[in-house]
Structure formats: C-alpha cells, structure tokens
Amino acid sequence: MEADNQSGITNFILLGLSEDTELQPLLFGLFLYMYVVCVIGNALIVLAIVSDPHLHTPMYFFLSNLSLTDICFTTTTVPKMLANLQTQDRSITYNGCLTQLFFFSIFAALDDLLLTIMAYDRFVAICHPLHYMVIMSPRLCGLLLLCSWSICLIYSFLQSLMVLRVSFCRDTEIPHFFCELAQFLKLACSDILINNIIQYFITVLLGIIPLIGILFSYTKIISSILGIASAQGKYKAFSTCGSHLSVISLFYGTGLGVYLTSGTAHPSRTGSVASVMYTVVTPMLNPFIYSLRNRDIKGALRRLFCRGADVQ
C-alpha cells in the first residue's frame, strides 16, 4: 500500500541529534569515524575467525555472526545520517523509512538473540564441559542460527505490515537520527492500539525472555565458577565470560533504557542521543572488547596480518 493511498505523506524529516549548524561538521566526522572503525573492526573479527581453523568452534562461530550482524545493524542507520549531515537535507522518503524500519528490526532482534545463544554456549562450556562438543554440535549451532534468522524475519515482516496500515498526519518531524518505530508511530493519525500491543508483545518475546535466559545462564555459570578450587581455574573461567558480559551490559543497558523512555508523551532528542550507544557505539566497541580480552582472537589477528604482509 502506497503512502499516497494512506495520507499523502511522501517524506519525513529526521531532526537528528542537533539543529546547531556549527555542530554538523563535528557530528559528521565523529559518526564517519565510528562507522569506519565499526565496519573494519568487525570485518577483521570475521576474517580472523574464518581464516583460522583453531577458531572453528561454536563460540567463535556465533561471534563471527554477531560481528557480521553489527556491521549490518549500523549500516541501516549511519550512512543515511551521514548523507543528511553532508547535504544538510534531513528528509527521508516514506519508502526509505519503511525500509530502514524493516532492516533495523531484523538486525536489532538478531543481535539480541545471538547474545542469548552465546550466553547458553558459555553455560554449556563451563557447567557441562565434558559434554560441550556433543551438546553444541555443528547441527545444533546451524539450527540455532537458522531459527534466529527465521524469528527475526517473521517479526520484521509482521511489524512492517502493521505499519503499512497506519496513516500519518501532516506533522512529519521525527526527533531522531533514524526512523525509530516508537517515534515514527507517534506521528500517526489513525488508531495504533494494535501496533502498540504487538510492539509490547514482541518486546517481551525478543527482549525480556532472552534477558531472563541470559541472567539464568550466568547465575549457573557464576555458581559453577565459585565451586572451582584453584584461583587460576576461576580466573580462566571468568575471562572467557568477561567479554560477553561487557557487551551484554552495553547493549541491554542502553537499549532497554531507550525503550523504557520512548513512550513518554513529549519526545526529545535525549532518547536519540542515548540510542547512539546501542546502535553505533556498542557495535564499534565489540571488536575491541573481544580482541583485547581474548588471546585466541589476538593470535588469529596476528596471523592474519602476517599472512597479509607475506603476500605483499
């Protein structure tokens, strides 16, 4: 269903992070830097894992998929923001907004599910080490990834179809740097009760339940680690989980904070500034968090660079 059939709205205005024209070059440079670092850093993680046979394990299989997802996640929002900052044109078409909503929903949900699967992987590795390779078989890993993609695609299609039934008022200003669903629906003239119900249901299904699963996994993990007799064994076990816990804290801490404040009656740019943390900063920091705290990744990156140097 086209926009003209709904309300005649063909374009929306993304207000961005600031209307101060003097800040635009600074914001452009900052976000360009973060985007480039995010893409290069996550691409290196993927290349290191794919090229090193020692890292062909369930843990690194899911990490490579998380890095690839982070690249796609930031690409759904940042390039458009950079283009708007460069051209000083803050508009986005109706179809462009729907496209952004569709892909943002997919990769945000996929990020969430992958973090949950990685928590389960660490739970099995630490609490059931003797059965780890049997439980986390290649078949199960592939099935978990396939199910995650299927759930995210179904969710995104459903969300997009529900948005298509909404008509919009003449107020087309979105106080965000991308088409965020909650702010987008606040511009609607038609009834959005069903949209809100579905949004809350999906939040529980893809947000709260995975978070409960992560907390349960780490409760069991910490209990098992505390039962280890040697201090060296405890340190090794904690070190394998530290990176993942750091990423979870960043992603969920900022993501849930933004969601809980997005329902306020008077939206402001505070939410969009906070959204930068989980949409841009967290994906950018993930490669550093995993590489700096992980000897296997650092070793794989060194070997990758050495092979590159030998080729030259």
Reported as a single tens digit per residue, the pLDDT across 125-135 is 888 888 999 99
Q: What is the pLDDT of residues 155-199, one digit of tens each?
A: 999 999 988 888 887 768 888 888 888 888 888 888 888 888 888
For the ranges 44-48, 85-89, 117-121, 305-309, which has the lowest average pLDDT? 305-309
**CB burial of residue 244 (10 Å; 0-12, 13-18, 19+):** buried
Query: Has residue 275 got a pLDDT over 70?
Result: yes
Provide the pLDDT confidence category of residue 278 given band limits of 50, 70 and 90: confident
Q: Sketch out the chain's domains with CATH numbers.
A: 3-311 (1.20.1070.10)
Q: Alpha-carbon distance 268 to 273, whole Å?
A: 9
As a whole number, mean pLDDT of residues 68-97 equals: 91
Query: Has residue 74 got a pLDDT over 90?
Result: yes
Q: How many CA atoms lie within 13 A of 217 on its CB side?
A: 23
Residues 17, 178, 119, CA angle at the centre, nearest 5°?
105
Query: Has residue 265 got a pLDDT over 60?
Result: no
Beta strands per DSSP E along the chain: 11-14, 91-93, 173-174
Cβ(65)–Cβ(114) below 8 Å = yes
Provide the pLDDT confidence category of residue 4 given band limits of 50, 70 and 90: very low
Parallel, antiparallel, or unpaired: how do β-strands 91-93 and 11-14 relate? antiparallel
Query: Has residue 3 got a pLDDT over 70?
Result: no
pLDDT, averaged across the chain: 84
Please, what is the angle between helix 282-292 and helix 295-311, to 10°? Answer: 90
What integer pLDDT is reported at residue 197 of this predicted model? 87
Provide the pLDDT confidence category of residue 141 given band limits of 50, 70 and 90: very high
Provide the pLDDT confidence category of residue 7 given band limits of 50, 70 and 90: low
Provide the pLDDT confidence category of residue 269 given band limits of 50, 70 and 90: low
